[in-house]
Structure 1
């Protein structure tokens, strides 16, 4: 039996995904018709990007699952018409991209690379950087991406603490949870990396109160979600020198408006939401495996809990 797979994303993405999806679904042993224009009542699976034109899931009467192309699901999880299982995107390329961005930017700051790259010719200032053994990194969020980044940083010798809403246990990482755990995690953070999902409970996790808990001179990296930070509180902490630097990849409004202070603040580095990109060659494997599981009656991978929002 042939299953019908609707690709519901921006048209430019179809050119990128068409061949990899066909290859990986066939390799998974599933006969499938994959297209962008299948009638809703004939669709078995929806490969979905939240910026697609599909907003009403009511007509998809025989569909078995929505397979999100993005790691984040906040733009779809609260859709009142969605009654299907929703699977978020987890794949090795997403994880590897995030590990490389986080470790790369922490090492850039840790080693003082900007001072050397921007130095005038003839500048000779042989100040040795600190060692990772003496540097404390806190990761807020210990999901797939957070756990991978925490482990990579620990392997580089950093003292790593991770905080999550529910208690985790990761070898080599000090794992904390709860409100008191969050305060303790921030109080010991020379660097803080935000990798929490966007939910009502996580909005403004870094605010005036929690920023004040951090050691003076701490650095912040946010490749997670823009609303995790109270922007005005962070700018104030940067202006006063309590926070030494913020490297930000995600923002409440994207692209970041040209007039936003982050662009010109001397203590801020802006990157254009590139920390971890979905790559068709890898994410197609995750999608194909979930379609195979659906057809075999096996549990889907990376199911979203609507109550938790991720």
Structure 2
């Protein structure tokens, strides 16, 4: 059995070294070097070329390098018999919750405004600001990451609401579900955080119709996927004053093109997809565990339900 790394645009060397340290005898190929496709039964991937894996007759598992799996599930040519696994990593989870907390606090204390004032050498105090105890944050998507973010915000004094496709029972998060639940959820939310998985049902969900249901002055944070957001709708809703602004870490095209209007909008904070960054040495042990489980014909961990997309 051989192992294949496929990560165009991402340096595979840290992954190669971590895999060899964890499993010294592992036979590893790095795409696109020459290799026998029939030998490969397990692949580790990030943004693989569409249709690539249909050429591997004995491939059984494609493991994502990160928490997201839409880069794999969106491949319509991926054979149905191949299992997909995702990463669940405590460090990634902590990093995400810390990042979102920082964004929410930055919004409440108007730090972006002060940064703009600095460039103009303007000494202008904003004496009014909201405190966590008076602020309701709504999280769309209360899976592993969304739950951790909600718990971190609740511990810091925020009123936290959640919304999910199906019913969730969360200790510190008052959660709504389904279409009816969304109608109740949105009007209460002053800061909206998107942590949804990207599926056909959630693509373009951050649109004008949804934004209009938020209270005037609401703030939007997207740390999920760029395809969740209808960009022109966000710009319009900020422009007409209904939204106070947004913090965006993910985009439809990355890097964000130089001519994109987000760059020059002072009410939009841009970060280059750095909310939580996968560290190879941290997640390789769980990938190797699944590799060994495959060899022993044992059930795999963190398997994605392909019909759901997560």
Q: Deviations over 1:60-88 (max 9, x none)?
A: 23333111113222232143232311112
Asked whether 1:63 is paired with 2:59, we answer yes
Q: Which has the higher contact order (CA 8 A, sep 6+)?
A: 1
| Partner SS for 1:75 | helix
1:106–1:56 CA distance, 2 compared to 1 (3 A): same
Match of 2:26 among 16, 22, 32: 32
Residues 154-233 of structure 1: matches in 2 within 5 Å?
Answer: 154-233=154-233
Aligned partners of 2:108, 2:227: CA distance in 1, in Å?
Answer: 26
Query: Cα offset for 1:33?
Result: 1.6
Unpaired segments of 5 or more residues in structure 2? Answer: none
Q: Deviations over 1:82-128 (max 9, x none)?
A: 23111122222322221122111111111222344444568363726
Residues 266-305 of structure 1: matches in 2 within 5 Å?
Answer: 266-305=266-305
Query: Cα offset for 1:44?
Result: 2.4
Query: Cα offset for 1:12?
Result: 5.2
Asked whether 1:86 is paired with 2:84, we answer yes
Alignment partner, residue 250 of structure 2: 250
Q: What value does the CA root-mean-square deviation take over the aligned residues?
A: 2.0
Alignment partner, residue 18 of structure 2: 20
Q: Which sits farther off after the overlay, 6-15 or 113-122?
A: 113-122
Query: Cα offset for 1:9?
Result: 1.9
Aligned partners of 2:161, 2:122: CA distance in 1, in Å?
Answer: 40
Q: Deviations over 1:166-212 (max 9, x none)?
A: 11111111011011211222111110000111111112212222111
Aligned partners of 1:239, 1:68: CA distance in 2, in Å?
Answer: 38
1:216–1:53 CA distance, 2 compared to 1 (3 A): closer
Aligned partners of 1:69, 1:147: CA distance in 2, in Å?
Answer: 21
Aligned partners of 1:11, 1:106: CA distance in 2, in Å?
Answer: 31
* Conserved? CA contact 1:4–1:38, under 8 Å: no
Q: Deviations over 1:112-159 (max 9, x none)?
A: 223444445683637263221110000001111111111111111100
TM-score after normalising by structure 2:
0.90
Alignment partner, residue 70 of structure 2: 74
| Partner SS for 2:291 | helix
Q: Deviations over 1:261-281 (max 9, x none)?
A: 111112111111111222111
Query: Cα offset for 1:53?
Result: 4.4
Q: Deviations over 1:273-309 (max 9, x none)?
A: 1112221111212211211222233321221111112
Asked whether 1:135 is paired with 2:131, we answer no
* Conserved? CA contact 2:46–2:71, under 8 Å: no
Alignment partner, residue 39 of structure 2: 42
1:11–1:208 CA distance, 2 compared to 1 (3 A): closer
Query: Cα offset for 1:244?
Result: 0.2
Aligned partners of 1:124, 1:266: CA distance in 2, in Å?
Answer: 17
